[in-house]
């Protein structure tokens, strides 16, 4: 926003300005010259009773066009879409890893039943780690993807799979 002196039509920058009793603002030098001819405000024609010196600095704001706003919005929207796609890809990879580890866990359970002395700690450790990741994503950050409805499968400690929607539904019903 630019403030302009209505006497000389130049902007009021860092120069001294003055305000009349009616509130209108002019360059001090312009109003001194003007008062030699008239004692009425050049804008509203009210009587000039007093003048007050003003000392100010105007901070100019950069005007932003609608095209700039639309361009920024478009870039932001594309960035959001890219991030959502990265989340989907990560969730798909997580889903595939969970399925693979579930298969390993089931296979290990079959081997364990045949041979009770076999060790399955490493598979259980990996499976538990993925379970913790799923629980973190679902329950700690429920709105990170599709507003809390994650299309992946979560491993339970027993190695069985359960759809996350049913886990969330059960969790929601217990909190009510």
Is residue 20, in this structure, part of any structural domain at all? yes
> Alpha-carbon distance 176 to 118, whole Å?
44
The pair phi, psi for residue 97, each rounded to 5°, is -65, -40
Q: What is the mean pLDDT of the chain?
A: 68
Distance CA 67, CA 162 (A): 49
Maximal CA-CA distance, the chain: 114
pLDDT above 50 (res 47): yes
Q: Is the model more confident about 158 or about 22?
A: 22
What are the tokens at 40?
């009425």
| Residue 127 near residue 102, CB atoms below 8 Å | yes
pLDDT value of position 154: 41
Q: Which of 42-56, 91-105, 118-132 has the lowest mean pLDDT?
A: 118-132
Statement to judge: residues 52 and 92 lie in one domain: no
Asked if residue 57 and residue 16 are part of one domain, the reply reads: yes
Indicate if the pLDDT at residue 28 is higher than 80: yes
The CATH number that applies at residue 32 is 3.30.40.10
Report the distance separating Cα 10 and Cα 97, nearest Å: 70
> Are 94 and 164 within one domain?
yes
Cα-based distances in Å from 67 to 61, 63, 74, 76, 79: 17, 12, 10, 14, 18
Examine residue 68 and state whether it is found in any structural domain, yes or no: no
Residue (of 95, 120, 85, 96) closest to 106 by Cα position: 120
| Number of compact structural domains in the chain | 2
One domain, residues 94 and 165 = yes
Q: How confident is the model at residue 39 (pLDDT cuts 50, 70, 90)?
A: confident
Same domain for 57 and 134: no
Asked if 46 and 92 sit in the same domain, the reply is: no
pLDDT band per the 50, 70, 90 thresholds, residue 148: very low
Residues 109 and 143 grouped into a single domain: yes
152 within domain boundaries: yes
Residue 139 Rama label (left phi>0; alpha psi -120 to 50; beta): alpha
Q: What's the pLDDT band for 75 if we cut at 50, 70, 90?
A: very high
Domain span including residue 54 = 1-61
Radius of gyration of the chain, Cα coordinates, nearest whole angstrom: 36
103 in a domain, yes or no?
A: yes
């Amino acid at each position: 926003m630019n403030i302009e002196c209505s006497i000389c039509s130049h902007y009021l920058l860092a120069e001294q300005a003055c305000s009349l009793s009616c509130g209108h603002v002019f360059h001090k030098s312009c109003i001194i010259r003007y008062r030699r001819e008239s004692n009425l405000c050049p804008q509203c024609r009210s009587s000039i009773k007093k003048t007050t010196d003003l000392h100010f600095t105007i901070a100019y704001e950069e005007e932003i066009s609608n095209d700039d706003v639309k361009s920024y919005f478009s870039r932001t929207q594309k960035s959001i879409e890219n991030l959502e796609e990265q989340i989907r890809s990560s969730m798909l990879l997580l889903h595939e890893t969970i399925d693979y580890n579930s298969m390993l866990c089931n296979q290990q359970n079959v081997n364990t039943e045949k041979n009770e002395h076999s060790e399955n700690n490493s598979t259980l450790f990996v499976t538990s780690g993925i379970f913790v990741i799923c629980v973190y994503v679902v329950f700690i950050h429920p709105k990170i993807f599709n507003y809390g409805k994650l299309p992946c499968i979560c491993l339970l400690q027993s190695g069985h799979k359960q759809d996350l929607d049913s886990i969330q539904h059960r969790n929601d019903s217990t909190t009510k």
